Structures are given as structure tokens and as C-alpha cells.
Structure 1
Amino acid sequence: MSDTIVQPAPSHWRRLTAKAFAPTMLVAGTVILLNLIRMISSMVLTRLLDVEIFGVVGVLTSIAIVFTMISDLGFVAYVVRSHEGVDKRFLDEIWTLRLIRSASLSAILAACAWPIAAYVGQPALAPAIAVFGICFLFDGLTSMAVATSERSGRIARISLFDVLTTITQTILTIAFAWALRSYWAMIYGMLLGNTIKVVLSYAMFPDSARRWRFSAARAAELWRFSRYITGSSILTMIITQSDKIALSRFLPLNLFGLYVIATTLAQAPTAFTSAYANRVLYPIYARIVREQAGALQSRYYAERRRISLLYALAAGGLVTMAPVVIELLYDPRYRGASLYLQILAIGSIPALNTQAANAALIAAGRMWTTLISNIVRLGWLIAAGTAGYLTFGPTGLILAVGTVEIAAQAYYWFALGQARLLALREEGLMIGTAVAGAAIGKAVAMVALNFIH
């Protein structure tokens, strides 16, 4: 009798383990853990460092993102989609091209550090900008393991890599902040953390060693694949960084520091949308297209329905819960970030829809849709941002930034319709769920703020 009772347990345990390590659960769990680590880091660092320091780091990060995006060649997407994605010679050639690009960026940023610092109105930051550029070189030295693991679906190993590197960098940054109490603590933490990241990228993944192998033919082939991605990334850079470039000039560093903190928190849900779309949905959609292209229409929503609804509920709740989040995480000096977070969180609601649509359309070979969607975003940012700034000042510009993804969603509905992937019932269900999440979040916030205050 005891055997009859005990035998089902291993099977039940295996089913639970299989669910826990399913790609979607791994991505969701990893993003939640990473966001928790970043929140703890933010809470500690805001108590060690002045608000102005976060403004400085925001300027440095924006500059780095600008250089990254204008030179984006879509290395990971190229490896995942290519039929040669597991060939050693192919990976050597891609690694070499990526290293050339990264070393060039480090050199260019060092050379341009002084004029860039003068342009943003912070000439004293020139040495920091030059040193910060070394991060590009570390990125080029890392292995191709993340791309090959995404292609093969080894999400658990990638997740462990992300968690270890984030924890390491967080500990180092906090240690430097405790000792130095300046923005150099953040820079040193990133540089040393990236050094460890390079080492782990080879130590944690099998067959990750690469050798120099330059191929002009491969470079030309990569450019044919990535030219739409590069153009789209340039537009993405303008869309995502123009607000920070403008506000760093219009706002004093303490207020800009509040905006940077709000931006970091608002990126928590979109970090999930990016990871889920790139690491789970895109490989699935690409495999469907490679093996049975006609099935994409029936599986586009089916592969993500449950996750999309849960995400919509949480994203809607974040908009109305933003003041509670700021009150719980920070001391009163940072209370002004709550309005910025509420506005920016609006853009997180359609983010999973747009990311999923982009993944499906790229997998289907419609590379131009990413570029066009960013043209739509840019048009909205120029029109709404200009009107908002003239009417409400910097807050009006932030409102345009927070709603830019709504304009992109409208375009993706059109693009999905052209590709015969759009289902209005599915889209309406997700919108209704987000509204419900906002209503629940508002009710919770009203009760919570009464207790906090």
C-alpha cells in the first residue's frame, strides 16, 4: 500500500519541475529576480549617494545607448535566424565583426568625450565619459553563447548567467559607492562587473571559445540582413534618448536624477517584454516559419495569450500604483519621481503587444516593419513632444514619451492585419485586462497611501 502512495510523487515532482523550468517561467522568474536585485540596489544606492549623482549616471548611460544604437547590427537576431547559426566558422566570423565594432565604439567615445560633455552642458564629465566607453570593448569580448543559447532554447543557462552577472555588478557598485560616494563608484562597478561578465560568458557555456576570423563576405551578408535593423535602431535611439538629452539640459541635475530613477523603474516591465519576445517568442516564431510557415497565423496569439493577459493586468496596475512604489522604496527626497513614473508606466501597457508583433513579423521576413514602427514613434514624439513642451513644459515632453508606445501599437495592428495575423477579439481582451488592472491598482493605492502617510 505504501508503494501505491509513494509512486506518483516522483511523476508529480517531475511535472512541477518541468513547469518551473519551462522557457516562459524561466524568463518571467529571471526578470522578476533581476528587477528585485535592481530595486534593492537602488534603495541602497539612493541612501549612499546624492540625487545629483543619478543625474550624472543618467547622462553617461544615455550617451552609451546613443553610440550602441547607431551602430546596432542585430548580431543576436542574425545568429538566431541563420541556418548556419551553429557553425563554428560562422560564429568566429560574427564574433570578429562584433569585436571590431565594439573596439571602434570605445575609441570613438574616448575621442569625442570632451565635445560631448560640452554639448550636454557638463564639461567636467569628459573624463568619466571616456572611461565609461571601455564598457563597449568588454561587450565585444564576451562570447557568442547568449545568441547560440537563445537559438537552441537553453534559457536556464542564460538566466543563470544574467542573475550572476547582475548580482556581481550590484555588490561591486554598492561597495564602491560606500567607499567613494561619487559617480565614479557607479563607473568602476560597471567596468569591474563587465570584466567578470566576460569571464563567465566563456566559463559557463560549452564550446564558447572563439578565434579571430575576419570575412568581408560575411560582413556584407550581415549588412544586407541588418540594414533595416540599423536604421530602426537609430530611430529607437532618437525616440528613447531624446527626452534624456533634452531634459539633462533643461532640468537641474537633482530633478533629472528623479527622472532617471523613474525611468529605471518604468523599464522593469519592459525588461520582461524584451526578454520574453526575444528569448521565447522569436525563436518559436522563427522555428514555425522555418518548418511550417502557414501555422504562424493560428499560433501567434496561442503561444502568448496567458502571459499577455497577466502582463496587461500588472502593467495597468503599475500606472495607478506608482506613488505607492516610490513611497515604499525611497525616502521623501525622491517623492517627486512618482509623477514621472506614472506617466512613463503608461507606455509599458502596450509594450508586450508591440514586442510580440515585432518578433512575429521579423520571423515572417517582414524586416521593414521595425523601421516603420520607429518612424511612427518618432513622428509621435516630434508632434506630441513639441506640443506638450510648449503647453506644459518638461512634463509635457515626458507625457509624449510615456504615450509613444500607443502610437506604435496602432501601427502594429495595421501591420498584423496585412500579414493576416491580427485578431481584434484578442487585442480587445488585452486592453480590457489592462483597464481592470489600473482600476485594481487605484483601489489598492488609495488604501496603501492612507496607511503610509
Structure 2
Amino acid sequence: MEPRPVTTTLIQRFSGASLGARVLRSSLLTVGSFGFSQALRLGGNLILTRLLFPEAFGLMALLTVFLMGLMQFSDVGVTPAILQSRRGDDRDFLDTAWTIQVLRGIGLWLTACAFAWPMAAFYDQPQLLQLLPVAGLALLIVGFRPTRMDSANRHLRLGRVTLLELATQTLGVVSAVLLAWATGSVWALVISGLISSLFEVVANSAFLAGGRNRFRMEAEARHELVNFGKWIFLSTVCGFFFSQGDKILIGKYLSLEAFGVYNIGYFLASFPMLLGGMVTRKVLIPIYRESPPRASRENFRRLRKMRFAVTGPLLLLVASFGLCGHWLVTLMYDSRYLAAGAVTVIVACMQMPQIVVQTYDQAALAAGDSRSFFVLALTRAVLMIGCILVGLETYGLIGALLGYGAAFLLAYPVVVWLARRMGVWDPLHDLVFALLGAALALVAISLNWSAVTALAAQGG
């Protein structure tokens, strides 16, 4: 029997409606979309750093942190609820979820308006008084996002969704560059965010398959969403402090210019973490739901192969930013941003522990166990805030970056607890990539030691 050509085998793997084929297609689309969007963001960022001053990026970072905080402080888990619920395709359930989402968006914008003055006073930045209410309109707009997007994700049919995401991101970057060229103001970043949000809602409503959402509040659906979402709400509050704790604290401790430089460095180093998070959120819940690892040894082994295939490339990618981060910043940015090179190197090295374990937490959501997910989120948030605060007080910015990495390491026992509870822990995977990550981090720090020590000498 003659062996089949490689191209034929690949086509067969990617074709059909099986779980494996849908996972491969969805993963490839997600990675391709992420690569394009990050290249687009990087190109736009390079242009914007020449059109705007570092203070503009600092102001936008403060706005982004606050708006993300509002979203996460009010998240009731509509998307994961649709992904895992047995009623995830029911029209009444979807319309109830959409209605809750719209009401939430209205409340978020009103809250942003109310917090404009306190935020401006806390950070001593009067511009925030005008910027925040306008930027907050994006929260109102995205509240109208159609549940068709979640339905496509639920069934791992992401082709058209991905194309619309890329179109939205392209419009956002292009509009930001044009507005920055015309105004030279941070308003360019704010207005471009509103343009892309509006386009996202309109385009997905017009071009995705599925019924049009209508206002509805079915009692049974509301009960399920609230019961599942109460722990998601608490988890996302914790997730906000976990993911944004560095910016909250560093933004308060450092000057606005230094904070802008920090965000440039963090932006470069965060590519692999963002990619891993996007893949796991879009792909893992459907996998865990349709092929539970506890159901058979075969399912567990299939998940192990997938986990190795995801973690290996991501770890190498984050290591590449650790190795070359300082060189990249020197090559792409002007002298005002050189300190961002050392930030990129250190942040990349500190993120390696999280890259190793990031495929575990979605198992709890797939099983409907949002309470265990909350326990992990709370642990991570407390450790992140505590470690960064201690680091800032002790060694300034360098201490904060080291605290950032320490938080990931200290959270590992709770990650193992959750993974064992869900039947997905893979100690072989963790050991192999922990050793590889530690070795790569040591090499990266050694090769960039002069840049790291120069950053430490600058203080916080």
C-alpha cells in the first residue's frame, strides 16, 4: 500500500466537522489572526511613537486600565456561559444573555462618567476629566455585540469571525495613525477606539450567520446566567488585579513618561502571553466540553499532545523576546524609549512560568465549576498585587518586575490543585517546560545583563 502524500494527509486533518479538524482550523485561524493583528499593532505603534510623546501612551494606559477594570468588575460570564451551557444554542437563552450584556454596557458608561473626576484627581491628570467619558463610550457600544460571535466560537467555526476581527483591528490602527498625524494628541487613540468598537458591532451583526438578537429576559435563562456568572464576576474582578496590577501600581509610583516607556516594553513582551490566552479561551472550553480528559485515557493523551504542541512554540516565542528584546527596542524606537528594551527582556523572562500552566484554568469553566476558577483567580490577584507592591517599595521598577515573576511561581500550587480537581494535571508537561523555561530565562538575562543593570541604576 503506497503512503498517502503529505498534502493529502494535511487536507484530511483540516477537513470535516470532527472535533480534531475544528480544533486544528480554529487554532490555525487564531494564531494567524493574532500574528497579523500584533504585526499591525507593532507597525502602528512604531508610527505612533514618532507622532506622539511618551506622556500620551501613559495617559492611554491609565484610561485602558480603568476601562478594563470596569469591564472586569462587572463581567457576569456571558461568553463562557454560552460556550459551556446545554442551552448555548437556544434563542431565548441567547437573547437573555444579550439583554444582560446591553444593560451592563449602559451601566459601565455611566460609571465611567461618574469616575472621571476622582480618576483625574488621583493621578493628578486633569485631561482625564474629558478623556474618560468619551473613551467610556466604547463600553456602551460593545455591549451591543451580537451573540452570533459566541455561537461561532462555541462550535469552533471561526473563519468569518476572524476576518471581521482583522478588519476591525486594521481600521482601528489606521484611524489612530491618521488622527495622530492630524492632531498630535492622545485624543487620536481615544477616537480610534470608538471607531473600531462601532465597526466591530455593525460588521458582526451584518455578516455573521444566526438570528438577530432581541431584548428578552427569560426567568430560567436569567437564573442560569446569574448562578454561573456570580463566580465569574468575582473571578474577573480578581483577574483585573492579576492582569493590571502592575499598571495600577507602577502608574502611581512612576512618572507618566516612565510609565509610558514601561508600557512600550510590556507591549512587546506580552505577545506570547496574549497569543496563549487567545488560543486557550477560544479553543479549550469546546475541547474540554466535547472530549473530557476524565472520560478516558485516550482523551487525556490527546490533550497532552495538544498541550505540548501549544506550550513549546509559545515558550520559544517568549524566550525570543527575552533574548532579543533590548535589540528590538534599540532598532525600532528612538532614544526616548531605550529603557523599554530592558523591560521587555525582564517581563518576557518573568512570564515563562505562566506560559507553562496556562492551559489548565479553562477546564474548570468547561465543567461549569466557576467557583474553583474563582479560587485560582483570587490567589493570583492577591499574589500579584502583594509581590509587585513589595518589589516597588524595595527595589523600584526592577523590584516590581521581579515581583511580577514571583507571583506566577507562588501561584503554582493552586494551579495544581485546580488541575487535579478537574483531572487535567500533567506533571510531565510542567516539569519539561519548567526546566526549559528556566534555562532560556538565564541565557536571556545573561546576554542582556548590561541593559538590565542600567535599568536598575535608573531606579523607579
TM above 0.5, yes or no, is yes
Which segment is superposed worse, 160-169 or 357-366? 357-366
Decide whether aligned partners of structure 1 residues 346 and 406 sit closer, same or farther in structure 2, where only a CA change above 3 A counts: farther
Q: Which runs of 5+ in 2 are unaligned?
A: 16-20, 450-460
CA distance in 2 between partners of 1:13 and 1:231 (Å): 43
Please list, as runs of the form range in 1=range in 2, the aligned pairs for 1:17-56 lying within 5 A after superposition. Answer: 22-56=25-59
**Equivalent in the alignment of 1:354:** 357
Please list, as runs of the form range in 1=range in 2, the aligned pairs for 1:131-150 lying within 5 A after superposition. Answer: 131-150=134-153
Conserved 8 A contact 1:353-1:409? no
**Equivalent in the alignment of 1:316:** 319
SS of 1:22's equivalent in the other structure is: helix
Decide whether aligned partners of structure 1 residues 17 and 286 sit closer, same or farther in structure 2, where only a CA change above 3 A counts: closer
Report how many residues are paired. Answer: 440
Conserved 8 A contact 1:259-1:340? yes
Over the aligned positions, Cα root-mean-square deviation in angstroms equals 2.7
CA deviation map 1:63-103 (0-9, x unaligned): 10110111011111000101111122221111111000011
CA distance in 2 between partners of 1:11 and 1:249 (Å): 57
CA distance in 1 between partners of 2:339 and 2:400 (Å): 16
SS of 1:377's equivalent in the other structure is: helix
2:119 to 116, 119, 126: 116
| Structure 1 residue 171, shift from structure 2 partner | 0.7
CA deviation map 1:307-362 (0-9, x unaligned): 21121222233223221221232122111112222232234323344331001232
Please list, as runs of the form range in 1=range in 2, the aligned pairs for 1:214-253 lying within 5 A after superposition. Answer: 214-253=217-256
Decide whether aligned partners of structure 1 residues 186 and 386 sit closer, same or farther in structure 2, where only a CA change above 3 A counts: closer
1:197 to 173, 187, 200: 200
**Equivalent in the alignment of 2:419:** 416
1:105 is the counterpart of 2:111: no
1:366 is the counterpart of 2:331: no
| Structure 1 residue 300, shift from structure 2 partner | 3.2
| Structure 1 residue 253, shift from structure 2 partner | 1.3
**Equivalent in the alignment of 2:284:** 281
CA distance in 1 between partners of 2:304 and 2:10 (Å): 29
| Structure 1 residue 371, shift from structure 2 partner | 1.6
Conserved 8 A contact 1:45-1:174? yes
CA distance in 1 between partners of 2:432 and 2:68 (Å): 35
Please list, as runs of the form range in 1=range in 2, the aligned pairs for 1:55-134 lying within 5 A after superposition. Answer: 55-134=58-137
**Equivalent in the alignment of 2:259:** 256
What amino acid does structure 2 have at the position aligned with 1:214?
Answer: M
Conserved 8 A contact 2:76-2:230? yes
| Structure 1 residue 441, shift from structure 2 partner | 5.6
Which segment is superposed worse, 216-225 or 177-186? 216-225
Conserved 8 A contact 1:317-1:434? no
| Structure 1 residue 261, shift from structure 2 partner | 1.4
CA distance in 2 between partners of 1:51 and 1:312 (Å): 30
What amino acid does structure 1 have at the position aligned with 2:416?
Answer: W
CA distance in 1 between partners of 2:283 and 2:354 (Å): 16
| Structure 1 residue 130, shift from structure 2 partner | 0.8
What amino acid does structure 1 have at the position aligned with 2:91?
Answer: K
CA distance in 1 between partners of 2:246 and 2:310 (Å): 30
1:210 is the counterpart of 2:209: no
Conserved 8 A contact 2:84-2:368? no
**Equivalent in the alignment of 2:430:** 427
What amino acid does structure 2 have at the position aligned with 1:344?
Answer: V
| Structure 1 residue 11, shift from structure 2 partner | 4.2
| Structure 1 residue 222, shift from structure 2 partner | 1.0
Conserved 8 A contact 2:293-2:299? no
| Structure 1 residue 287, shift from structure 2 partner | 1.3
| Structure 1 residue 57, shift from structure 2 partner | 0.4
CA deviation map 1:209-257 (0-9, x unaligned): 2111123443332111011111111112122323322222322211110
Conserved 8 A contact 2:349-2:441? no
CA distance in 1 between partners of 2:323 and 2:224 (Å): 47
**Equivalent in the alignment of 2:455:** none
Decide whether aligned partners of structure 1 residues 281 and 253 sit closer, same or farther in structure 2, where only a CA change above 3 A counts: same
Q: Which runs of 5+ in 1 are unaligned?
A: 1-6, 447-453
SS of 1:422's equivalent in the other structure is: coil
CA deviation map 1:90-148 (0-9, x unaligned): 21111111000011111121122112211222123111001111001111111112211
CA deviation map 1:361-385 (0-9, x unaligned): 3223432232222222233234423
CA distance in 1 between partners of 2:165 and 2:443 (Å): 32
TM-score (norm 1): 0.89
1:389 to 377, 389, 392: 392
Identity %: 25
Conserved 8 A contact 2:269-2:318? no
